[in-house]
Amino acid sequence: MSERNLVELHRRQAERLGRRPALRFKQYGIWHDITWEQYHAESLAAAAALVECGVKPGDRVGIVAENSIAWPIADMAILAAGAVNVPPHAPLTARQIHYQLADAEINFLFVSNRVQLDKILSLRSQLPPLRGIVVFDGEAARAADDLIPWPAFRQHGRRALPRLANELARREAALAPDDLATIMYTSGTTGNPKGVMLTHGNLLSNVLAVSERAGQRPGDVVLSWLPYTHIYARTVDHYSMLATGVLLCVAESAETLVQDLADVQPTHMASVPRFYEKVLALAGPRRLRELFGPRVDWLSSGGAPLPPAVARAYLNAGVLVLQGYGLTETSPVISFNAKDAYKLETVGRPLPGVEVRIADDGEVLTRGPHVMKGYWKNPDATAEAIRDGWFHTGDLGELDADGFLKITGRKKELLVLSNGKKVVPSFLEGLLQGDPCIDQAVIYGEGRNFLTALIVPHWPNLRAALHHTTGDPSPESLCELLRHRIDAALSDVSPAEQVKKFVVVPQPFSVAADELTVSLKLRRNVVLTKYAQQLEALYTDGQPAG
């Protein structure tokens, strides 16, 4: 393909596929289709409305919304107007969202519902002057007189479109590969997040490379449920469908995913390791094929390391989960396994056009058209991250003889014990979480003489292992079983990597408690600070683990 930007890619695919279904969504219990013609027309109408409201090329426009059919339409409208999409994660607090919208100096905003709108209204006076706020939910749009309901906004754009068609065509033609498409704020564990500037060229190059590796075609059906406020779903699901022509089915919600799978029967779906672990624990290996449906070809995993034991369990059940790797700063995919060339313990080979090398200290470096333009208004951080053309990922890894990349840990998360032994906590956590009785695990021990851990049991599996069908097991039997499971999971690692003591955490770590990011990555500093007293006691009380 010779397209220069995502807007051109969308238009040309709509011209090719016309009346074929592009998007499928559920409303009032019924699935509906939007054709490629309709998808493009709706996006252009909303883009015309943005132009009517005074949005200019390069302006930043926010989307504070959960996934819905309105999300990709509004996204493409922003891009078609030549503007830049700034989408904070919907679960964030009002103060966190305010920081991102104010830092990006947005001047227009899309909001999903009353919950998100209340966050905006509470801080509206502290935001840059807004030309308008469009609310997807009609009832919520009545909260203030100057709010614009989504249907009325699009209708206004339809009326203006004949008059603005040439202007939108001019804006599309003017969009160069180096022009910004989005600013995505990274979810840091300390301090304010950094705004990652991704261009049309960044995203387009990544979409085309992913499509070449994945081999999807029109006729394939993708179920999409990960938040579009994360670049993983935005690129791998939304923008990739613009290149491949697949039917993109927008899941009703994360809570309805099992029913959505049954309804849609997808050929492909992208998810995160936490989802695959939970499904395996709840459904068991024998029901995996049934749960994902008869048409599933392969599933993809990203956002965090997928424990090899989980990948093998799926493969043995006849469901292939292909792992990939990337970061927000790399649009995001750096490497990905292929159906005809994969190694479960790796994140695949680098994508076409993507260079990867391993630095002397083991850090993964990457170079190519997928690497961000830089951090928004932060040249010092940009210069630190991109040196001599190479982006420094902060991850540790190795390339095998066949060119497959294996991620072994985070450079900054490398633990050093008091005896000088170095430990990669994420590697050990993956081993522990491969045990069906362990739901989540966090390794601790920087500067200590041995390792400890926070262990979240998988309670149904643990009770079954203890033959407790009702009630909670005794603390003694619980600790004895977990001690055995931990030792078995770590049986092949060195003495320095053994977990000597542990704390049982009764409830899983969650996004709501700020212990996980929206993409379900562990906020290690937050968790370790929260449980600092219990962990410290393991080194001072002289008692056995538990």
**415-540: what CATH class?**
alpha beta
pLDDT tier, 446 (very low <50, low <70, confident <90, very high otherwise): confident
Stretch(es) of the chain classified as CATH 3.30.300.30: 415-540
Q: What is the pLDDT of residue 288?
A: 96
Topology (CATH) of 6-175: Rossmann fold (3.40.50)
Q: Is the pLDDT of residue 13 over 60?
A: yes
> Which are the contacts of 232, defined by CB distance < 8 A and separation ≥ 6?
226, 270, 302, 303, 326, 332, 519
Q: Is the pLDDT of residue 83 over 50?
A: yes
User: What's the gap between Cα 377 and its chain centre?
Assistant: 24
187-227 pLDDT, tens per residue? 654 457 899 999 999 999 999 999 999 999 999 999 999 99
Rg (CA), the chain: 24
pTM of structure: 0.85
Domain 202-371+389-410, CATH homologous superfamily name and number: ANL, N-terminal domain (3.40.50.12780)
Stretch(es) of the chain classified as CATH 3.40.50.12780: 6-175, 202-371+389-410
The Cα-based distances of 77 to 90, 153, 187, 249, 271 in angstroms read 20, 12, 26, 19, 26
- Any idea which of 101-110, 211-220, 291-300, 466-475 has the lowest mean pLDDT? 466-475
57-79 pLDDT, tens per residue? 999 999 999 999 999 999 999 99
371-409 pLDDT, tens per residue? 999 999 999 999 999 999 999 999 999 999 999 999 988
340-380 pLDDT, tens per residue? 999 999 999 999 999 999 999 999 999 999 999 999 999 99
> Which are the contacts of 329, defined by CB distance < 8 A and separation ≥ 6?
186, 196, 371, 372, 385, 391
User: What is the Cα–Cα distance from 390 to 378, expressed in whole angstroms?
Assistant: 18
